[in-house]
Amino acid sequence: MHPDCERILLSENEIAARVKEAGAWLEKKFAGTVPVAVCNLKGSAVFFADLLRAAHLDVEMDFMAVSSYGANAVSSGKPYVKRDLFSSVEGRDVLLVEDIVDTGRTLITLRQFFKERGAKSLTVVSLLDKPARRVVEVEADFVCFSVEDAFLIGYGLDYAERYRNLPYIGILKRSVYEK
Ligand code: IMP
């Protein structure tokens, strides 16, 4: 385990098993259609790659970045589009892949974004959900794990851009961000 990690919350095996279930859910949901799968960078990148390989579907992939986090462990307020999509999603079924729904501000912003871009439908899959932290009422359509209110790292999640490549999800030691 990484020395900055207090404990492992979700092991590599637990994540892989649940990602398989999420993939099966997507196969049913999108049978007969070709959705545009959108990865909200950077936190979703690892999950996105595993999830889409677990779902036997015809999909297109696109990437964007919406962020409100700086190099700290608390949300800095209103999210903004940092990097736009490569292609139009007008009239398309969109599958948005998120790392975590925390306050919900990012997801609300993205829901509005896809509405304005004329998407035909929006389905949201999130790896994690922290319901205790929600400030706006919004939910993903499929959540892999509902988790406690702690700062998490690994499997795409960072603190100050580090730890994204850990293969598990761990709780970051408070001493790292309270220095
Ligand atoms: P929200 O807008 O507050 O829901 O924040 C969502 C974004 O905050 C996620 O997409 C993550 O990038 C980031 N975030 C929230 N909680 C954590 C965490 O525990 N570890 C790392 N990033 C987090």
Q: What is the mean pLDDT of residues 156-161?
A: 96
101 C-alpha to ligand 1 centroid (Å) = 6
The ligand 1 atom at the shortest distance from the C-alpha of residue 151 is 19
79 C-alpha to ligand 1 centroid (Å) = 11
- What residue type is assigned to position 127 of the chain? L
pLDDT for 67? 79
pLDDT for 76? 61
The ligand 1 atom at the shortest distance from the C-alpha of residue 150 is 19
147 C-alpha to ligand 1 centroid (Å) = 12
pLDDT for 68? 78
Q: Determine if ligand 1 sits within 6 Å of the CB of residue 42.
A: no
Average pLDDT of the chain is 94
Tokens at 103, concatenated: 């306050």
The ligand 1 atom at the shortest distance from the C-alpha of residue 101 is 4
Q: What is the mean pLDDT of residues 157-179?
A: 95
Query: Distance between the two ends of the chain, CA-based, in angstroms?
Result: 21
42-87 tens-digit pLDDT: 999 999 999 999 999 999 999 999 977 554 556 567 899 999 999 9
The ligand 1 atom at the shortest distance from the C-alpha of residue 104 is 4
Q: What is the mean pLDDT of residues 89-108?
A: 97
The one catalytic residue among 50, 93, 102, 158: 102
Evaluate whether 101 touches 66 at the Cβ level (below 8 Å).
no
Q: Determine if ligand 1 sits within 6 Å of the CB of residue 104.
A: yes
CB atoms closer than 10 angstroms to residue 73: 15
Evaluate whether 172 touches 152 at the Cβ level (below 8 Å).
yes
- Using CA atoms, how far apart are residues 125 and 122, in angstroms rounded to an integer? 10
- What residue type is assigned to position 179 of the chain? K
Torsion of CA 42, 168, 97, 58, to 10 degrees: 110
Active site residue 141: no
pTM value is 0.94
Q: What is the mean pLDDT of residues 23-45?
A: 97
Q: Determine if ligand 1 sits within 6 Å of the CB of residue 79.
A: yes
Q: Determine if ligand 1 sits within 6 Å of the CB of residue 9.
A: no
